[in-house]
Structure 1
Amino acid sequence: MGLYNKMEVLSQERTPIALVTGAGGGIGACICRKLAAAGFRVVAGDIDPARAGRVARELGESGSPGHVSLPFDVSDEIAVESAFDHIERDWGPVQVVVCAAGLLLFQADGERPLIKNTSVDIWERSQAVNARGVFLCARAYINRREKAPVPHGRFVTFSSVAAQLGGYRSSASYIAAKSAVLGLTKAMAREVSHLGITVNSVAPGLIDTDMLRSTISSSGAMETAAANIPLGRIGTVDDVACAVEFLASENAAYITGSVIDVNGGYRMQ
């Protein structure tokens, strides 16, 4: 049986599975809701079991049964391999992966560390979650899809406008890690194209999340930030999730190695 015949059989037999890492966060949870509504069986992955479980339960309560949670640390090689083994053994092959897990670390005083003050621990922890976690999920996904192809395979990464601009609200370690994701996305897109898998990145700008609010704490700062955005507002988690939903769909079949900027015009190219 040829590659695409195998894909057709898998498509007929199973509801497509989407794994979302960082599912417990505001953006991750919204992505889970979008993909569930689009017909995917969602695996809500998060390092926090309580947050992952809450998202999966909420998806079930919305009338879409079968969604599950899977707590694991994306920066841990063994944990990532075990998570993929668990999913594919118990529920079936993963068609879509969305790497939404992210970490922005600050100093004890709440300020972003400048390069001259950045400890090796902060640097390594930021790289581990924001960059190595994407690599580990990518490697696990590729190895399994080579053995068991799926139709319309999708891998969506998360970079940031900070990586594109050297963002002044983010630390250098975060910016460097998100820049690495951009390169990894393009490299993976070329390597898996023969499998019919597309690989793209979403680069959010200023989005109303806990992460953004942790960097903008003064009164009126959100309004000031919004005034510098051409569309005149801070983005929402729904804005980002809609971009991911599109990239995960069959409508995005001819888009790969690309970056979708979700920033309201904050950065134009």
Structure 2
Amino acid sequence: MSNVSTPAESGATPRLALVTGGGGGIGATVCQELALAGFRVVVSDVDAGRAGRVADELGAPHAAHAFDVSDEASVERAFDEIETRHGPIAVLVSAAGLLLFQENGERPLIKDTTLDIWERSFAVNARGVFLCGRAYLRRREAAPVAHGRIITFTSVAAQLGGYRSSASYIAAKSAVLGLTKAMARESAHLGVTVNGIAPGLIDTDMLRSTVTSSGALAAAAQAIPLGRIGTVDDVAAAVRFLASEAAGYITGSVIDVNGGYRMQ
């Protein structure tokens, strides 16, 4: 990733985008794509080092701000600090997520799922979306912005019941589907749209952690009508569109980025 700082057009201050989970994988590419689209990007991650590296690669005026999306106090404090330093957040991309395995590296079946795995999965994958979405909407009600956007991340696993995913992950991502629609209805009067991205099989560390060999990855690709595993760029392009002014009449929707793996 190279320096992709984009100057404001016509001297206007670029809109501010906050990306959670921006330190790696899909999130880092989303940050780059939004920077290329002319946004000022705040890269957020629970790992300050990862967030800082991505922000440094983007260059000024982009910045990093580490916080834990699952912790209520941390979220509220982060939103206050970000808006004090950088101005109102126009676009919130809730990309933070995790897929947990058992100590032996296997996907836990429901009968083997511990309460800790269940709670940790919901804390990041679902509670984090709620806490960040609530923080954003509270501030946009107090100080509206033009073309406000919330973009959530669910998964084809939630739509199909899972592909090498655990029940806790599937359930948490299913919760995000419903929350996305609820937020879309409650924020429409503010001119804020809320939409989700449902990635299919995307070539990330998370996917490769569930696939035991390159042969298994190739076999998975054969089940996809477009004949390939998706890329992080495929996902980031969809986020860029939803964040744009051109997507202003789309809300409460989910864009499937899955190469035709699931059609509806």
**Aligned residue identity for 1:143:** R
Structure 2 Cα separation of the partners of residues 176 and 103 of structure 1: 13
- Identity in percent: 74
Q: Secondary structure at the match of 1:95?
A: strand
**Displacement, 1:209?**
0.1
Aligned to 1:8: none
Gaps of 5+ in 2: 1-10
Aligned to 1:6: none
Which sits farther off after the overlay, 172-181 or 216-225?
216-225
Q: Secondary structure at the match of 1:220?
A: helix
Structure 1 Cα separation of the partners of residues 144 and 251 of structure 2: 18
Structure 2 Cα separation of the partners of residues 195 and 218 of structure 1: 48
- Normalised TM-score (structure 2): 0.95
**Displacement, 1:168?**
3.3
1:149 to 141, 144, 147: 144
1:229 to 224, 230, 240: 224
Structure 1 Cα separation of the partners of residues 178 and 24 of structure 2: 25
Structure 1 Cα separation of the partners of residues 40 and 163 of structure 2: 38
1:166 to 161, 174, 186: 161
Aligned to 1:66: 61
Aligned to 1:113: 108
Q: Given the alignment of the two structures, is residue 48 of structure 1 paired with residue 47 of structure 2, yes or no?
A: yes
Superposition map of 1:55-94 within 5 A: 55-60=54-59, 65-94=60-89
**Displacement, 1:14?**
3.4
Distance 1:96 1:139, change over 3 A: same
Q: Given the alignment of the two structures, is residue 212 of structure 1 paired with residue 207 of structure 2, yes or no?
A: yes
Aligned to 1:245: 240
**Displacement, 1:176?**
0.2
**Aligned residue identity for 1:211:** M
Structure 1 Cα separation of the partners of residues 12 and 234 of structure 2: 32
**Displacement, 1:109?**
1.1
**Displacement, 1:126?**
0.0
Q: Secondary structure at the match of 2:140?
A: helix
Aligned to 1:3: none
Gaps of 5+ in 1: 1-11
**Displacement, 1:108?**
0.9
Q: Secondary structure at the match of 1:194?
A: helix
Distance 1:148 1:178, change over 3 A: same
**Aligned residue identity for 1:15:** P
Structure 2 Cα separation of the partners of residues 79 and 153 of structure 1: 23
Aligned to 1:5: none
Q: Secondary structure at the match of 1:71?
A: coil
Q: Secondary structure at the match of 1:74?
A: coil
Q: Given the alignment of the two structures, is residue 195 of structure 1 paired with residue 190 of structure 2, yes or no?
A: yes
Q: Secondary structure at the match of 1:73?
A: coil
Structure 2 Cα separation of the partners of residues 183 and 108 of structure 1: 31
Aligned to 2:174: 179
Q: Given the alignment of the two structures, is residue 261 of structure 1 paired with residue 260 of structure 2, yes or no?
A: no
Structure 2 Cα separation of the partners of residues 207 and 157 of structure 1: 16
**Displacement, 1:13?**
6.4
- Normalised TM-score (structure 1): 0.93
Superposition map of 1:18-57 within 5 A: 18-57=17-56
